[in-house]
Structure 1
């Protein structure tokens, strides 16, 4: 008989080896799958980076009819990759077929913002897209399907989806601010000269826009002397309020300027992080940033989709309560909430 310590290691490294029955495949939808983020994320999902190394998946990929050839090419590559967890691939431009039976949906497809386009026009162009997808979600997805909206404006697209799919619980619809959260962790780790895995509990409050508020007030870093509050390790209030906030807020623009395309790999990775933590749980003592439907916590208006610090357990998220918010943070949080209230009025 194997020693208990070895069994524990096996359970950690290869959980499927100790399970009597293998997990059944689950269906995962990616919209906009022929695009750059979609192309990056489907392989990540099929490798177990989203739902775990023991969870087989059937990928459903949706894109516009004009992208049929490109989508077919993505399907070919997935098959050619011979990924053990991948049990099937559906590539389609039909929403009903794409949403049928899916337990998880990552909505990347949307109307892209073009040069000179105002935010209200972007919102107006996305409403009919999410109206159609809301219908497909209600009619065809599996019960309790969990949804992540990535397409911008992500917070308001998630709101539209919630309003137009009333049969879907609001708690099952979220939007992506994990990319901003990861960017905040990265900036802190670079400032301290530590590995990003040694930094936790940064927060991104608000909208996935230039009004977001990256907050390091409660962040903790692991050093050779143990865990310390980041504000003790970086005694530079100006950096926290100016450079740190600005760099995180404008990181997307900096990436576009550098590579002439928007963030793809990092966005796909963040979407996997978001769903993995939501489904499999956050580590004890750690929170992450997720765009969720506000319940009024921290004075944020109810009903808007706002990025909060959350913990996750057994497939459910909970907003972290009782964190101290100073006047500077409050003013930034209110600015983002006001923007989201304005976006809500534009959408309806």
Structure 2
């Protein structure tokens, strides 16, 4: 149903361009108010019924020689009923939209290349099969809002059916409100430093990322849904960043935090596939242990290969254990580990950026398994909070084999951990523990420096007022009292 002025404009334009012919003539009936389309009066003419008696007299009656039997008051009554019905239909449609609760997805570091690759693939029923719609929230603290607005427009231009709305944010205090899924892509160059870069620069980067993630953990704890799923990805300090979130978000279960190791796992699958002459998708169940962006170990004890053209052949669905096909222990223990590390470094050195496509693929794989369910047979590696795993420290995020089912992850315990592998796991755990302790020591040093500066400021003013009583530097006394 349209208002009178809309139809009047349309009819005037129609008559002006086509003249008073049967195909273009507009029937008008009634005095004022509302209009509705009428049925065809003959084969070639579309009539538009406009409730307006004066228009009918000048048009229909003069042209066709017919008049209406319905009096104007009844026409106005019908128009009013039509209007009321249309308003109710519009209200019902709006109420229905309000009942559709979208899933709120937050992405930090949203202006990164990884985010731009991730977004189009993220907004699909394959990743969120039970979500009626997705509200996407883009946060980037290092970019201006104009850049994020351009990204928002690009995302909306995708015209994806699941996308409900897109918001952009540069203020951390707006972050993670009602979040159901959080993907953290804020990264530094700390794990892949070039020649000539000073140690002090690395310290500043670690300090910056730690402060940011400490703030993120507080905001997640205060504003996100308690069942939020948090995914940490990147090229450096992945385990440390995830550990900071777990420590700071006290009201959220540690099982809701995962550091993505599937990127490293996929790169290892590609190296093994190249060695065997198969596709990377035909290599499965490769395990990544330890520090995702540091000291890690690629384990092939459960790995299988399909379609391998060796002495023993089978159908496409027939898997063969890689440990039997590659008995060369030296290649498995040394060459494989070095090849996987150099593979990512080569991409980073050529492009000057992280392997964005590989990172996005790893994130999507974890999200799909976490929401859609990967099943008990799909094993992948993920950095999780391991409480007492294999007698390792329980205050670190450690990459282990897991499965996802029913919206939860479970650790795969059906693995053989011999003495050699155990020593490697201990080395990885020690590195992670040292990283955590180094950050805490730096944080404590910063706190001490701030406190000493405050003490010095207070003492300087006290000395001015009571110079005869305070002649010595009492900062160490204040410091000991504060910390002990």
TM-score by length of 2: 0.64
- 1:3 — aligned with what? none
Using the TM superposition, give the Cα deviation of residue 97 of structure 1 relative to its aligned residue in structure 2, in angstroms. Answer: 2.9
The alignment status of 1:82 with 2:174, answered yes or no, reads no
Residues 117/73 of structure 1: CA separation in 2 closer, same or farther (3 Å cut): farther
192, 210, 221: which one aligns with 1:138: 221
Q: Is the Cα contact below 8 Å between 2:221 and 2:248 reproduced in 1? A: no
- Higher RCO by CA contacts (8 Å cutoff, separation 6 or greater): 1
- 2:260 — aligned with what? 176
Mapped to 2, the partners of 1:346 and 1:125 lie a distance apart of 14
The alignment status of 1:346 with 2:415, answered yes or no, reads no
266, 270, 274: which one aligns with 2:358: 266
Using the TM superposition, give the Cα deviation of residue 307 of structure 1 relative to its aligned residue in structure 2, in angstroms. Answer: 0.1
183, 186, 193: which one aligns with 2:277: 193
113, 116, 123: which one aligns with 1:36: 113
- 2:241 — aligned with what? 157
- 2:89 — aligned with what? none
Query: Structure 2: any 5+ residue segments left out of the alignment?
Result: 1-98, 308-312, 441-484
- 1:281 — aligned with what? 373
Mapped to 2, the partners of 1:345 and 1:329 lie a distance apart of 24
- 1:247 — aligned with what? 339
Query: Structure 1: any 5+ residue segments left out of the alignment?
Result: 1-21
Using the TM superposition, give the Cα deviation of residue 195 of structure 1 relative to its aligned residue in structure 2, in angstroms. Answer: 2.7
- 2:102 — aligned with what? 25
Q: Is the Cα contact below 8 Å between 1:218 and 1:229 reproduced in 2? A: yes
SS of the residue 1:50 aligns to: coil
Mapped to 1, the partners of 2:358 and 2:129 lie a distance apart of 19
C-alpha distance after superposition, 1:69-110 (max 9, x if no partner) = 221111111111111121110111123433111100001124
Of the structure 1 ranges 298-307 and 318-327, higher mean CA displacement relative to structure 2 is found in 318-327
C-alpha distance after superposition, 1:224-280 (max 9, x if no partner) = 522111111223222211221111123221111232322111101111111221222
Mapped to 1, the partners of 2:138 and 2:347 lie a distance apart of 26
Q: Is the Cα contact below 8 Å between 2:129 and 2:371 reproduced in 1? A: no
TM-score by length of 1: 0.87
The alignment status of 1:125 with 2:208, answered yes or no, reads yes
- 1:5 — aligned with what? none
Mapped to 1, the partners of 2:120 and 2:175 lie a distance apart of 18
The alignment status of 1:313 with 2:405, answered yes or no, reads yes
Q: How many residue pairs end up in the alignment?
A: 327
Q: Is the Cα contact below 8 Å between 1:214 and 1:249 reproduced in 2? A: no
Mapped to 2, the partners of 1:181 and 1:269 lie a distance apart of 11
Written as runs of structure 1 = structure 2, the 5 A alignment for 1:36-55 is 36-48=113-125, 50-52=127-129
